[in-house]
């Protein structure tokens, strides 16, 4: 019962506006339609388990057919269709029956209810599952999953950070799908007005970045960064770029943490000085700050690229690079993503494992799978070898000829592994409040005291 309540609590945390969770449902493509609506829709529809989909379609009796449940018809589904087409070159009789659900919570709650009932027959052969939640679900419901230890997958072909989510107690359970590597994109024309280039904001300290940001604001009126503060992922990404986590040994590692306080101080100072715009909602973040042309910089998971590209007249005026850090080294982070998992209800494990290995796992069909997934839905590969295709090397005119997709794959290989926790979104909410209270507009409260209060709040929630 406690496990079911935990899963329901996590679903409700998503409802509160889990941008990172939604990131798995939105990714970049040169010609992709705006996808932030799909992400918002997924969040809005998350609800307590008993109101969610519990039957994901089950399995097929046909020996060459696999069933899979996934969300987002504009993003994940085209990737699965690309994988089906690629695998047909190996097995012409193969068929992938795709059950498109409204959001990731449908899958999470279906697994929870199946496990609670002790009956996994409602599950399909394969499910798409969010990276931030899978470890708790494998821990709570170990009988719901089949591992991929026997799959012909070269795990060294993936970044360690991506694999850290789907590797539980030394076993690989998931085949990585979408690349959540964070980018920092800048308007190069705005930088040039202030005498800077993309190189001047690459491999710099946050202190120097704030100096440049103040100058940009003074001379152009534009912020150098914005974020949806109702689901603020900046602290997480900033810390990961330092190679650090907000957690240590399963507990929040924020109170009394000098590095963490310095990171939050960057955000507070940026907000106070007009360098960082903390938006009140997802739509304000995307529609007003980015599409509305209020910012000269955007940092988030690479799935934010279609939002940037909505402003046609800014084509050729953007470039992307790495994240500043406290020391000035180039920083790497990720935000969002998901992987594919074989359920206990799959009686065709050999077929399922071979399909995943051949398509998403670096096999012979991976390059074809990911080329078409990128072109048709915007999914960027986590598989390093697949990112070496000609499609990934193509220059992107919107980003002034930069081969952004190849660069993103290369950056993803450098994202450090940091400790994760199922209270990720709870902490994000608490720290968002701390940042608000510490800004001048929020009352200028003592930042250290606010961080302590947030830490105490999470300790209380974790003890319930």
Distance of CA 21 to the CA centre of its chain: 6
% of the chain at pLDDT higher than 90: 82
What does the pLDDT look like over 186-203, one tens digit per residue?
999 999 999 999 999 999
Q: Is the pLDDT of residue 21 over 70?
A: no
**Mean pLDDT for the chain?**
89
What does the pLDDT look like over 169-183, one tens digit per residue?
999 999 999 999 999
Q: Is 102 exposed, middle or buried (0-12, 13-18, 19+ CB in 10 A)?
A: middle
Distance of CA 97 to the CA centre of its chain: 25
Band (88; pLDDT cuts 50, 70, 90) = very high
pTM for the whole thing?
A: 0.82
- The DSSP 8-state label assigned to residue 242 in this structure reads T
Instruction: Give the integer Cα–Cα distance in Å for 220 and 216.
Output: 6
Domain boundaries, the chain: 2-180+337-388, 182-333+418-463
> Which residues partner with 127 through β-bridges?
69, 341
Give the per-residue pLDDT at 346: 98
Give the homologous superfamily in CATH for domain 182-333+418-463: Periplasmic binding protein-like II (3.40.190.10)
CB atoms within 10 A of CB 58: 15
Q: What is the mean pLDDT of residues 342-348?
A: 98
End-to-end CA distance of the chain: 14
Q: Please name the CATH architecture into which domain 2-180+337-388 falls.
A: 3-Layer(aba) Sandwich (3.40)
Same fold, 2-180+337-388 and 182-333+418-463: yes
Q: Is the pLDDT of residue 386 over 70?
A: yes
Helix (H, G, I), strand (E, B) or coil at 181: strand
Q: What is the mean pLDDT of residues 213-226?
A: 98
Q: Provide CB contacts within 8 A for 281, sequence distance 6+.
A: 228, 230
Q: What is the mean pLDDT of residues 398-410?
A: 96
What does the pLDDT look like over 243-290, one tens digit per residue?
999 999 999 999 999 999 999 999 999 999 999 999 999 999 999 999
Instruction: Give the integer Cα–Cα distance in Å for 243 and 19.
Output: 21
CB 6 within 8 A of CB 136: yes
Phi first, then psi: what are they for 160, rounded to 5°? -65, -35
Strands (E), 224-345: 225-228, 247-248, 251-252, 276-279, 297-301, 318-321, 338-343
Q: Is the pLDDT of residue 7 over 60?
A: no
The position carrying tokens 């990737």 is 79
């Amino acid at each position: 019962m406690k496990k079911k309540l935990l899963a329901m609590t996590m679903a409700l945390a998503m409802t509160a506006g889990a941008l990172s969770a939604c990131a798995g449902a939105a990714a970049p493509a040169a010609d992709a339609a705006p996808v932030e609506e799909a992400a918002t829709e997924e969040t809005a529809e998350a609800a307590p388990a008993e109101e969610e989909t519990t039957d994901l379609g089950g399995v097929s009796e046909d020996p060459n057919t696999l069933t899979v449940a996934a969300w987002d018809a504009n993003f994940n589904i085209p990737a699965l269709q690309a994988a089906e087409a690629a695998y047909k070159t190996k097995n012409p009789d193969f068929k992938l029956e795709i059950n498109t659900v409204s959001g990731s919570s449908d899958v999470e709650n279906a697994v929870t209810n199946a496990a609670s009932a002790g009956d996994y027959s409602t599950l399909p052969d394969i499910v798409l599952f969010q990276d931030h939640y899978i470890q708790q679900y494998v821990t709570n419901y170990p009988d719901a999953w089949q591992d991929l230890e026997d799959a012909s997958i070269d795990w060294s072909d993936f970044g360690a950070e991506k694999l850290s989510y789907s590797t539980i107690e030394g076993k690989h359970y998931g085949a990585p799908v979408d690349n959540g590597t964070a980018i920092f994109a800048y308007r190069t024309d705005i930088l040039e007005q202030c005498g800077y280039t993309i190189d001047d904001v690459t491999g710099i300290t946050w202190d120097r970045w704030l100096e440049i940001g103040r100058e940009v604001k003074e001379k152009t009126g534009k912020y150098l960064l914005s974020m949806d503060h109702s689901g603020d992922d900046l602290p997480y990404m900033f810390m990961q770029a330092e190679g650090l986590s907000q957690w240590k040994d399963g507990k929040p590692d924020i109170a009394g943490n000098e590095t963490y306080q310095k990171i939050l101080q960057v955000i507070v100072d940026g907000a106070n000085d007009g360098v960082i715009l903390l938006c009140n909602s997802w739509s304000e973040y995307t529609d007003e700050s980015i599409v509305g042309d209020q910012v000269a910089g955007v940092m988030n998971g690479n799935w934010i690229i279609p939002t940037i590209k909505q402003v046609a007249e800014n084509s050729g005026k953007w470039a992307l690079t790495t994240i500043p850090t406290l020391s000035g080294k180039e920083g790497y982070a990720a935000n969002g993503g998901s992987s594919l998992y074989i359920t206990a209800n799959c009686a065709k494990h050999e077929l399922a494992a071979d399909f995943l290995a051949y398509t998403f796992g670096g096999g012979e069909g991976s390059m074809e799978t990911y080329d078409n997934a990128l072109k048709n839905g915007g999914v960027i590969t986590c598989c390093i070898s697949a990112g070496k295709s000609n499609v990934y090397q193509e220059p992107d005119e919107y980003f002034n000829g930069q081969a952004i997709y190849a660069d993103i794959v290369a950056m993803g290989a450098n994202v450090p592994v940091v400790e994760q926790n199922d209270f990720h979104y709870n902490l994000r909410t608490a720290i968002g409040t701390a940042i608000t209270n510490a800004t001048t507009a929020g009352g200028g409260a003592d930042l250290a005291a606010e961080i302590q209060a947030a830490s105490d709040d999470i300790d209380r929630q974790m003890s319930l």
